[in-house]
């Protein structure tokens, strides 16, 4: 799943019948530091509670279409949660290897 920031809403009156009642939002994709990447997409809101300004996470492709109560509807991106808090590790365990990493060609 990826982070996104909801930046808008989409309304479509005439649409494929399985999309009836699905809320569509415009989301700006974010990187791991929650900074905008410049890529936008339209996501179906599976939480039914997301709105503009909120930090969310989303699942894409075939898994996205399984997030809604009515599954296998034709969508390829779904909002699956609203983020309360992200805690990023910045200590030594982030900066130092936590597995033995052998590169046999370099003789170590």
Q: Within 84-103, which residues bind other proteins (CB under 8 A)?
A: 84-89, 91-94, 97-103
Measure the CA–CA gap between 101 and 86, rounded to whole angstroms: 28
Q: Within 2-41, which residues bind other proteins (CB under 8 A)?
A: 2-3, 31-32
User: What token pair was written down for 41?
Assistant: 């997409």
Evaluate whether 41 touches 27 at the Cβ level (below 8 Å): yes
Give the DSSP H or E segment for 61.
helix 61-64
Residues touching other proteins, count (CB under 8 A)? 44
Query: Regarding beta strands 2-10 and 24-30, do their DSSP bridges make them parallel or antiparallel, or are they unpaired?
Result: antiparallel
Stretch of 6-14, 16-24, 71-79 lying at the interface with other proteins (CB under 8 A) = 71-79
Which residues of the shown chain bind other proteins in the complex (CB under 8 A)?
A: 1-3, 31-32, 46-47, 49-50, 57, 59-64, 66-67, 71-72, 78, 80-89, 91-94, 97-105
């Amino acid at each position: 799943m990826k982070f996104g920031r909801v930046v808008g809403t989409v309304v479509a009156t005439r649409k494929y019948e399985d999309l009836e009642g699905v809320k569509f939002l415009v989301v700006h994709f974010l990187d791991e530091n929650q900074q905008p990447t410049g890529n936008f997409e339209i996501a179906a809101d599976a939480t039914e509670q997301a709105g503009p300004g909120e930090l969310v996470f989303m699942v894409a492709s075939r898994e996205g279409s399984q997030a809604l109560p009515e599954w296998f509807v034709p969508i390829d991106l779904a909002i699956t949660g609203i983020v309360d808090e992200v805690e990023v590790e910045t200590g030594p365990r982030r900066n130092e290897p936590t597995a033995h990493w052998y590169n046999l060609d370099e003789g170590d």
